[in-house]
Structure formats: structure tokens, C-alpha cells
Homo-oligomer: A and B are copies of this chain.
Amino acid sequence: MPAASTALPVRHVAIVGLGLIGGSIARGLRHAGYDGALLGLVADAQDAERALALELVDRASDNPEQILAAAELIVVAVPIGVMDRVFTDIARLAPATAVLTDVGSSKSSVIQTARDNMPARMARFVPGHPISGTERGGLESGFAGLFDSRRVILTPTVDTTPDAMAVVAQLWRLLGAQVSVMDAMHHDDVLAATSHLPHVLAYTLVDTLAGMSERQEIFDYAAGGFRDFTRIASSDPMLWRDIVCSNRAPVLAVLDRFIEQLSEVRQVIADDDRDTLAAGFTRAKQARDQFAARFQERRHGRTTV
């Protein structure tokens, strides 16, 4: 883990949503030695009880007032589809000085939702996105190392103040992440290509095969390659529906590009144009091997690719 001071300059961190990302932030902060108060805002009283039983946070509640009123840093870690309500609560209840951030997978739409629902808070709002996750979710899914050596992209708006940026960047460094800064629209283009499109493809492939008459045998004889290729299709469908819809234009742009290229590949196969097919597969392997090597390097050789 990179050297990082445990001195996060806030004594009360509120995390809204304690699923994979929120729960991992909580566990990661404790693991890193943060000794301030961790407050968790969750969906209902039952989740609050479970969050406390799991020792995710020091205080948990489904009452926004009880959690937000004392917070100096608020991390919004709920699905994109319900962020509007959280932002409204923040505008109503959080201290004016509280630093705000989120973890949404698309940024332009989150920023628009923030402007619509907490316009007076934009100076303190640092939009963010940790590039990590698994197909799992729920209160039990978080773990301290989720962000270790992973990238986090911050996409400040024209209103974001440097001191708010510094607090959020420090939060992520404390969790072991590598912090980058990017324009929100550029972030959305890049993530549409690397994350949102693959999810659309994985869901669509599995749904296509599930609709075929040989469905049972297809899944019976699928193996490890298929398992890896479709792993992201086990992700929360509502969460991903909302992400895709919140980043519609960039997703459509790269999806159209993919459909065009796939249709060309289809013609190449139909024509038995073996050289062209081999050239495309070879370019892809080279690019993928290069990616895999760099990815491994970024992780300090801690994982196989």
C-alpha cells in the first residue's frame, strides 16, 4: 500500500449506502487506521441493524437527519437511480461546510442531478468514480482492500473548490487508490467503452443464448471462457440499467461503432476472408496482452490476468 497519512481532516464521515462500494470504503477507512466517526445511512431499520452487527460503521440509521446533520464528509454510494433523493436530503440537512462526493459510474448525469437537487452545494461537491467492483453487492459484500492500487477518477465541476478536492483525494489515497482527475464528459466516453458497453454485450449475449431452443445444453456445455466472459452479466440489472441510461449518448456512440465493426467481421467470416479475420484477431490479442501486462503492473503483480 502506498504511504498515506491517516490524517483525514474530518472527524465525521457519513457514507450513504453500505453496499459493495460504501461498505468497502467503511472497512477500508478502519483498516487504514482512520479513527474518526463512521456514520452509515441505509435503506431501512433492518439494514441499519445489520450494518452495526457487521461493524461496518459506528452509527447506522435509515433517518437522513441522524446521519447527515453531523457529517463533515459525505460519500454518496447509492445506485445512480436514487441519487436525486440523497442530494435533496443533503441540501436540506447537511452542514453547509460538508464536503460531498459520490461514486457513480457515469459523471455528467450525476453532476446534472446534483445541480438540480443541491444547487447551493456545488462548491463542496467532488464527483468521483472508483474503477473497481465485482458483480456482487449487498451489506456483506464490502472488503477493506477493494480500492487498493485501483484507480479513482475525480471529475470536478467549474464550481468545485480546491480544498474540497483535496479532502476527497486524501480519502481515496487513504484507501490505497490512485487518484486521477478528468473532465466529466471525457470520463463518460472512456467508461462507456471499457465498462458500460461490455456490460451491455454480456447481458445481451446471455439473454440471446437463453432465448435459444438449445438453451439447456448451451449452458451445460459452457466452460471457463464463457464463465469469465459473462461474469459481469451477474451484476445487479437495475443498477446497470440505470448506469447505461444515465450515460446514454456515449454508450450509443461506442455501441454503434461496435455494431458496425461486428457487422464487418460477420461479412469477413461469411466471405471466408481468412487473412482479414486473422489480422483483426491478431491486433486484438496484441492490444489485450498489452492491457493485461499494464494492468498486472498497476496491481504490483498481485493478481493473474
Contact = CB atoms under 8 A, between A and B. Distances in A.
A263 interface: yes
A291 B287 CA distance: 30
Given A237-B282, A245-B274, A280-B203, A210 B287 contact: yes
Interface in A225-241: 225-238, 240-241
A153 interface: yes
A197 B229 CA distance: 11
Contacts of A193: 209, 212, 214, 218
B198 A284 contact: no
A262 B190 contact: no
Query: Which of A214, A269, A278, A290 has its CB near the most chain B CB atoms (within 10 A)?
Result: A269
Given A252-B269, A261-B208, A287-B219, A278 B241 contact: yes
B218 A190 contact: yes
Tallying the copies of this chain within the complex gives 2
Interface residues of A, number: 95
Contacts of A229: 198, 201-202, 228-229, 231-232
A205 interface: yes
B223 A151 contact: yes
A205 B195 contact: no
A265 B204 contact: yes
A268 to B, nearest CB: 10
A251 interface: yes
Most B CB within 10 A of own CB, among A230, A278, A288: A288
A63 interface: no
Contacts of A259: 259, 262-263, 266
In the complex, which of the residues A209, A214, A266, A277 has the most CB atoms of chain B within 10 Å of its own CB atom? A209
Contacts of A248: 269-270, 272
A133 interface: yes
Contacts of A269: 200, 244-245, 248, 251-252, 255
B270 A252 contact: yes
